[in-house]
Amino acid sequence: MNFLNSIVHGDCIEKMKEIPDNSIAVCITDPPYNYEFIGHKWDVDEIKRRTERIQNSNTLVKNIPYGSGLAGGVRNARWYKKNRENILEYRKWIETWGKELFRILKPGGLVFTFNSTRTIAQVQVALENVGFYARDIIVWRRHSGIPKGLNMSAKLAKMGVENPEQWDGWHSALRNEWEAISVVQKPLVNNYIETLAKYNVGLFYTKTETGGFQSNIFENIERDKNDDFNVHVTVKPMELIKKLIKLSVPEGKGNIIIDPFVGSGTTAVAAYELGHNFIGIEIVEEYVEIARQRLEKAKQKKANEAFQMSIDLF
């Protein structure tokens, strides 16, 4: 397979067409969220353009502005209609790459897709529409939520309305402390035993480090300190991605992990460090270079450790 253990630059929909049927074990991916989604040509130039345009605005989420002109504004019938159209467009886009992903995954192959608490349902429905079936929603509790939305008492006070304190504590949204990971699976070959025997996938490794049984809530995962060259704005913690890999990919079975939206390469590096084969696809050229740098750094680190170990033996 030409793409094996590499970071591929290009549109994942087109690149996945070059991957054989039933050849990928697991997908772990973090595609643009719906409030980031601005169409099929999402790229770093558009991110920069929008970010620079409203640097001092409170409409930024994770340093990326809301897409499709939906941030702020009056919540009238036109706004809700546009919001609904945006959701349907986003779901259709997921189905487009989801069809190719369904084809290349092995029967029993699992897909872990990150998304926001508001749009994770759309991800699940879209992937079910192309043939996957829903298994779970993993909660990644990240303890980094910042209250957003309208503070009613503060807004009324600013407007000069009398007795704004009567609305103290009333806001338009909750503080978000968790991120969702949709878990769907390609249908099995009759049952788990036959699927495992033929494709070496399909189950979850549920034994925790303390000997307990793994739940669907992941917490106490620290964020990494990014390299200076890594300017990607939504980097997931390495420990979190490794946890998903250990949860779903049996060791020593020659399985391949794919990330169609590999971004700065966390999935690829995590797979490499754990000794698994991988394919990373990314449409933004700047991110491809970051991912390749991170992967090369991981390879160099492993080579240095092996060299040091050989020295220690003498």
CATH number at residue 258: 3.40.50.150
Q: Is 102 helix (H, G, I), strand (E, B) or coil?
A: helix
Distance, CA of 42 to CA of 198 (rounded, Å): 38
**Regions of the chain with pLDDT less than 70:** 1, 34-73, 144-145, 224, 226-234, 306-314
Residue 124: which H helix or E strand, with range? helix 120-129
Distance, CA of 152 to CA of 173 (rounded, Å): 11
| Residue 38 belongs to a domain | yes
DSSP states of the chain: -TTTTEEEES-HHHHHTTSPTT-EEEEEE-PPPTTT---TT--HHHHHHHHHHTTT-TTEETTEEPSTT-SSS--SHHHHHHHHHHHHHHHHHHHHHHHHHHHHEEEEEEEEEEE-TTTHHHHHHHHHHTT-EEEEEEEEE-S-----S-BHHHHHHHHT-S-GGGGTT-BSSPPP-EEEEEEEEPPPSSSHHHHHHHHS-S----B-TTS-B--SEE---PPP---TT---S-PPPHHHHHHHHHHH--TTS--EEEETT-TTTHHHHHHHHTT-EEEEEES-HHHHHHHHHHHHHHHHHHHHHHHHHHHHT-
| Residue 34 belongs to a domain | yes
Sequence length of the chain is 314
| Residue 155 belongs to a domain | no
Range(s) of the domain holding residue 84: 6-142+177-312
What 8-state DSSP symbol labels residue 301?
H
The one-letter amino acid code at 221 reads I
| Residue 254 belongs to a domain | yes
Where do we find the tokens 């450790």? 305
Total number of domains constituting the chain: 1
CA triplet 265, 117, 169: central angle to 5 degrees? 125
| Residue 96 belongs to a domain | yes
Q: Is 188 helix (H, G, I), strand (E, B) or coil?
A: coil
Kindly report each contact of residues 85-89 with a partner whose C-beta sits within 8 Å and lies 24 or more positions away, as own/partner. 86/34, 86/37, 87/34, 87/119, 87/122, 89/37, 89/39
| Residue 157 belongs to a domain | no
| Residue 152 belongs to a domain | no
| Residue 147 belongs to a domain | no
